[in-house]
Amino acid sequence: MAKTFDLFTFGETLALFMTTDTDSVITAQNYSMTAAGTEANVAVAAHQLGLKVYFQTKLGPDELGIAVSNKFAEVGLETKHFITCENYTGALVRNHGGTQPFVNTYLRRCSAGSTFAPADLDEAALAKSKWLHVTGISVAISDTSKNAVIRALEVARANKVGISFDLNYRKKLWDEEIASTTLKSIIKDLDVVSGGVDEYEIIFGSKDPEENLSRVAALGVKTAIMTAGPGEMRILHDGRRFDFTPTKVKLVDPVGSGDAFISGTISGLIGGLSIEDAIAQGSKCGAAVAATRGDWALMITGENGVLKAITSGVLNV
């Protein structure tokens, strides 16, 4: 089957309100507004890298939903297949983190995005894609969304679509025991699994990071990537273990950098890079986002999934 799309992903999109005048939601009077969501961030970064991306989300019948949809249109992502339902568009409010620790306030219980269900999936588009990306957040936010992830994995496997899974454990969404039981039942026969060293420990149960990598590989995962913030990454690829030292930058806003990392990595794989070069590309993309404010990697540009430039000047590439 000829593949129409490079990357297919779906998930909840939130309206992100970030303080601009002070570094506290308590005292701020002014905010910037954009769209955010882990799969949305991945979709935008892959689009910036020159891939043809099919991203699905659900929004409310409200002006906030229109505003969020417009943000995708502004960067050139197709929105005509976005779904509108009766539930409201979710939101995230946070400080910009210049001088204070980040504090997130989520307004998302029963949001439009959380109602995503298997029937909402564009299975025809997924079947005609080279790669599917899904995350633990979409598994956590509702049973219907979890079932959509399970169905998407079934469709991808049946149509020989590459698959990546970002653990993305969020303690505000579910507890550790449920997350571990649920994700271990879903994660199998995948091309890439990515997550932080703490996330691996929560989901796969060992205090030994090496044991957790082995446990993931035993589930039929080709490449297990374990990040550690600015520290050295551990990678187990086709039985071969190696480390990678991430690109170093002055940290401004780490939110969204993990999404840019995995997007840069899988985009590189789609574009034909080796696993080493793909991870190096992902590291540069993640670092670029961490060195600027906001979740979207608009400073990143590329062709056919391969990095061409990072235009903000925060990195020499």
Tell me the residue type at 236. Answer: L
Q: Tell whether the model's pLDDT for residue 84 goes beyond 60.
A: yes
Q: How do residues 223-246 score in pLDDT, each as one tens digit? A: 999 999 888 999 999 999 999 998
What DSSP element (H or E) covers 17?
strand 14-19
The CA-CA-CA angle for residues 215, 218, 224, to 5°, reads: 70
DSSP line for 260-308: HHHHHHHHHHHTT--HHHHHHHHHHHHHHHHTSSSS--TTEEEETTEEE
In the predicted structure, residue 105 carries a pLDDT above the cut 60: yes
What confidence tens digit (pLDDT) does each residue in 197-218 have? 999 999 999 999 999 999 999 9
> Residue 82: pLDDT above 90?
yes
Q: How confident is the model at residue 310 (pLDDT cuts 50, 70, 90)?
A: confident
**Dihedral through CA 117, CA 123, CA 129, CA 131, nearest 10?**
40
Q: Is 28 exposed, middle or buried (0-12, 13-18, 19+ CB in 10 A)?
A: middle
Parallel, antiparallel, or unpaired for β 192-196 and 162-166? parallel
Query: How big is the CA angle at 154 (ends 266 and 187), to the nearest 5 degrees?
Result: 60
pTM: 0.94
All domains in the chain, ordered by first residue: 5-11+38-56+118-307 (3.40.1190.20)
Residue 317 has what pLDDT?
43
Judged against a pLDDT cut of 60, whether residue 315 lies above it is answered with no
